[in-house]
Amino acid sequence: MKPQITNHKTQIATLFLFFSLFLASTASATLLVRGMPLGLTKENHPEFIELYRIKIENQVGGTVEVSEDRGQSWQPVGKVLYPTHKVNKNGYQAAKWIGEGQVAATAVNAIHIKTGGADWEKSIFSILPKEFLKPPKHYQSFLSPDSSIYTDIPAGKSIFGGGFAPFVGNQVMVSSAAQPVVVMPRDYEPKIGDTYYIIVERPVDYPKEIIFENRFGGRIYLNYYGGDQRVIGEVLFPVSGIGRFAGSKYVTAGRIRANHPGVIDISVSPYGSIGGFQIIPALHTLDMRYVKSSTQWMVIGPTDVEDPSLEGIAPFFKYFIQPNYRPDDLYAKDWEARFLDRFLVEVIYEGDSTWEPMPVFEIDEFYLSGKLPAWADKALDKVSHVRIFFPIN
């Protein structure tokens, strides 16, 4: 049971003291030797099944297409408005936790591709929806205008969380007029006319749910339909507030907004409004000092301090989670199949035992800069459990 929050600033300070001690005991070992918690070997070396492929032609008017039969046939889903011939060699911090030539982030408002090796550990380029031809005001997510391919696909649609999004860790291939399809070379830089292929595959053995006990020291459970249940991590710092994560505008409450090697981003706002919270791994918070004084992040770590931290580790931050929702699902002829094919995030409140829909909040545009309203810091303070329910199909 999560304790009653009577003075959340005092509680935050106490929790963060323990959290800082945890980081001090694990950070150096984790930075030097990347491995994985022993209990997650299965999830990080799974057997995969291919779902579809995404093809993007990096040229003006180039097509964006999807194949559901391993490339035998392709259906157009959009066009490239502006290509790119650059990478950002100093992208967002969590990109260093994924391999080169892989999807480094999947979101309703962007796809990021990792290109660099050890010398360019944060080197990426991006694929963006049409809204980012004119970026929203007060946009706080990573954005690199010069190293982005702009498409005419709306945010939250098609490859941007609308049924054809990739997963973090998916392999990216590249071809050109002079070269057949190959694995993206190390330290690759985009060239006009190149074509990219994202092989979207997920683990064959797919879980039912991940459950987070939203309290200091809470356990994190991974449950499979076959009955396999394991504790796969610990909540070091519970979430009690919501923040202005801009991409939540393109998805509704209780849905995944984004996943990358250092975040699971969850919306709490209606479609078209802003509000959400994030689940992040412990070591990554060394790059996010503001977490210390905020309530909008749930910080998680391994159950054993001898294990490495969870950056880039499945099932949280690779292979398993993707944005997958369309606001018109309920009105489609195949609405039942669509709902079974989507991620859903639910909660349990203190003193209860029943899963309920994510509470709905939105942050007024007035608060998209400056200080958040006071209520936002405690919006989720009665939530004792959070569940990511996986697609059944």
Domain ranges of the chain: 8-43+205-389, 48-203
Q: What is the C-alpha separation between 81 and 140, in angstroms, rounded? A: 24
Residue pair 56/172 in contact by the 8 Å Cβ criterion? no
Residue 101: its pLDDT value, please? Answer: 95
Residue 366: its pLDDT value, please? Answer: 73
Residue 86: its pLDDT value, please? Answer: 92
Q: What is the C-alpha separation between 102 and 109, in angstroms, rounded? A: 18
CB contact set of 299 (below 8 Å; sequence gap of 6+): 19, 235, 236, 237, 280, 281, 282, 285, 291
Q: What is the per-residue pLDDT across 317-346, written as a single tens digit (0 to 9) for each? A: 999 999 987 766 666 666 566 666 789 999
Residue 285: its pLDDT value, please? Answer: 83
Q: The whole model's pTM is what?
A: 0.89
Residue pair 267/252 in contact by the 8 Å Cβ criterion? yes
- CA dihedral angle for residue 32, residue 294, residue 270, residue 78, rounded to 10 degrees: -30
Residue 20: its pLDDT value, please? Answer: 52
Residue 17: its pLDDT value, please? Answer: 44
Give the residue ranges of the chain where pLDDT is below 70.
1-35, 136-142, 327-340, 393
For residue 163, the 8-state DSSP code is: B
For residue 315, cis peptide bond before it (omega within 30 degrees of 0): yes
CB contact set of 232 (below 8 Å; sequence gap of 6+): 37, 39, 40, 43, 210, 220, 221, 222, 303, 315
| Residue from 182, 155, 161, 180 nearest 171 by CA | 182
